[in-house]
Each structure stands twice: as structure tokens, then as C-alpha cells.
Amino acid sequence: MNNFILQLNDDLAANVEHARRSLVEIRNGHGGAGAGIIVRSDGLIITNAHVIGRRGLRATLPDGQTLPARLIAYDREHDLAALAVDATNLPAIELGDSKNLQPGQWVMSVGHPWGVAGAVTAGIVIGSGAEFPEFNTGGREFIVASLHMRPGHSGGPMLNSEGKLIGVNTMINGPDVGMAIPVHVLKAFLKELGDVQAARQPQHAESMMV
């Protein structure tokens, strides 16, 4: 049993370390900071809409390099934003599956709480979807987990036990409840972004408001 626990511990730590290679810090030019996730090796980064500002966006990559970031699109309703930096061969995170999450499954959230770079918190899934009588979700879908997120986790990855992205950290609800945007919502946002990228600048889309 001890060997099993040690192996599980080592596997979880390795999976988190692998995912942290895709974690960035976002600064919005107004003194605010949050996290972001590299989702494409050509410099596409996802974060929360509430993290971004309209000017002065900068992204610090896992290697410590800080680059100006361009706002591509954002969706206030789902609290998602897409940024781009001029870089190539970046380590993109692997997207997982959020539609089949079950209560009790182990999850981990990574970010920069209170400025602590790449900090990790862990817990279990409470539930997922849009129906949470105790929370006012406004009909939006969330992953709700019993973990200890703090300011600075916003925009960072929520991972499953395999280290795959299953959600984007977005808010806390009480001291030990964290909420994330499910990765299937993110995938829809990315698809819509691809559908409208013929326009070379941020513009309106049905759920992508700039």
C-alpha cells in the first residue's frame, strides 16, 4: 500500500510539473495579475476575461521571458479571453475531457496565488454543470471543486489526475470551493475564434465580445 501511495504521489507531481510548462503570468497594465494557459505552440494563450485590461497586457512565459500580449477576443459571459504573443514552439497544454467528470474525482488547480508562482492546490470534484442550487451560476456551466483557490489562480489550469486541462480557474465561492470553466466550453470558444479569425483584429461574434 505504501508503495502504491508513493507512486501515486510521484505521478501526480510529475503530471503537475508537466502542465506547469504551459502556465504563464498575465499582467494587465493596471496593477492586476493572473494566470494564463498556453493552448497552442504558436503563442495562443487563454485566460479569464476578468484578468485582462485593454492596454499594457504582458505575459511572462515559463522560461521567465516577458512579452507584450495582444488581445484577440474575449467573451464576458463565459469569462474567457484569448491572447497572442510573438513566440513559437511553446509547450501547449493537453486538453482533457470535462463532460464525463464525476463527483469525487481528484483535481488540481495551478496559478500564482498572492504572487506565488506556479502554486498548486488540490481537492475533489463536488459537481459539474449548470445546476447548483447553492450557487448563482446564471445558467452557465462550471466545475465546482473542494480546493483552496486564491486571487492569482484566475485564468490558470484545473487539471485532472493525468495532468490534462479540464477547466479554466475562474472564481472562488467560500474559503474551500473553487470554480472553473469546463474545457468543453473553452473548446467551443476556440472553435468560434477559429471561425472568425479571417478578420485581423478583435471583433464581435455571437458569444465573443470585444
Catalytic residue among 18, 50, 146, 161: 50
Which pLDDT belongs to residue 204?
40
55 pLDDT more than 90: no
Share of the chain above pLDDT 70, in %: 90
Which residue in the list 22, 75, 154, 184 is annotated as catalytic? 154
36 Cβ neighbours under 8 A, 6+ residues apart: 23, 24, 25, 26, 45, 46, 47, 51, 59, 83, 155, 156
- Rounded to whole angstroms, how far apart are CA atoms 20 and 70? 22
Residue with cell 490558470: 156
Q: pLDDT of 79-133, one tens digit each?
A: 999 999 999 999 999 999 999 999 999 999 999 998 899 999 999 999 999 887 7
What is the model's pLDDT at position 166? 98
Instruction: Name the region of 72 (left: φ>0; alpha: ψ -120 to 50; beta: rest).
Output: alpha
Per the annotation, the verdict on 79 as an active-site residue is: yes
Domains defined for the chain, CATH in brackets: 2-92 (2.40.10.10), 106-186 (2.40.10.10)
18 assigned to active site: no
Mean pLDDT for the stretch of residues 56-66: 93
**Where does 51-157 have alpha helices with state H?**
none
Is the whole-model pTM more than 0.85?
A: yes
Active site residue 50: yes
The whole-number pLDDT of residue 205 equals 39
Residue that the C-alpha cell 503537475 belongs to: 16
Catalytic residue among 79, 98, 112, 153: 79
